Amino acid sequence: MHLRPDHAVRSIPTLHAFIRAHPLGVITTSLPSDNFPTLQCSHIPWVLDSETTQSNSNSPNGEESNKTPSPLGILRGHIARANPQTKAILEAISSDPSTTGSILPEEVLVVFTSPTDHYITPNFYIESKPATGKVAPTWNYAAVQVYGRATIYHSRDTSTGEYLHRQLSDLAVLGEEGVMGYGNENGTGNGKGAKKTPWKINDAPVEYIETLKKNIVGVRIEITRIEGRFKVSQERPVKDRGGVIEGLQEMETERARNMADYVKSGVLPE
């Protein structure tokens, strides 16, 4: 990632908050193979465990999960076993299928992006353009890149089953309460979410969940490097930023209004 100083975000709590607010990340692997493309990627929703947080749900055996030992955090997700990327991952592991938690030999990359981005025309600039004419179009956006080593849970043993159960349960909590706001007055839903009962993994038949777990593979990424770029016109002179805000507001679209607010505040919100 190109991290120019005025756009770089290095605060771990800020980067973690961004991931939790935008949990759909693109995992990219680079795995040499005669059977599959070297580069593959998939969109996966992720649960982030930080050093100071624990799982949102209890493990199947009733014991609360331990805190993560990684200072940069842990990403937990799952991917369809039928996905070609999964097949390349399992080929790269080349281990005994009865072994739990095989470590992928190559580093993986996960990219998270804000749903709000916008083209910025030079016509918005009210200071630089008249003065020098040396301006060019650009694009405002925010993204976080995560690098790490992935442990793959692909066997049929009890440990893998427990990992997948916890993952599915925590992901449901993230979606139902964190995204939809169901049963949570502080959620991000439409205001009526607190009156609705969130769906839980135990609401589904046990046999169905067991079948589901046979068709997915767990992924646990210990983060070794994390970086973010929040580009919202911070590099422009004050009057140019004012012109960007005014120009976006005049467009009268929700996307433009959201970006105008971000430029006004100087940073994309969590």
Which residue ranges form the domains of the chain, and what is each CATH number? 8-122+132-237 (2.30.110.10)
251 compared with 157, residue with greater pLDDT: 251
pLDDT at site 4: 83
- pLDDT tier at 45 (50, 70, 90 boundaries)? very high
Average pLDDT over residues 73-97: 90
Average pLDDT over residues 93-105: 69
pLDDT at site 223: 97
Residue 37: partners with Cβ closer than 8 Å, 6 or more residues away: 84, 88
Average pLDDT over residues 193-221: 92
Residue 157: pLDDT over 80: yes
Query: Is residue 232 classed as helix, strand or coil in its secondary structure?
Result: coil
- List phi, psi (to 5°) of 246: -65, -45
Q: What is the pLDDT of residues 112-151, one digit of tens each?
A: 999 999 999 999 999 998 888 889 999 999 999 999 999 9
pLDDT at site 133: 85
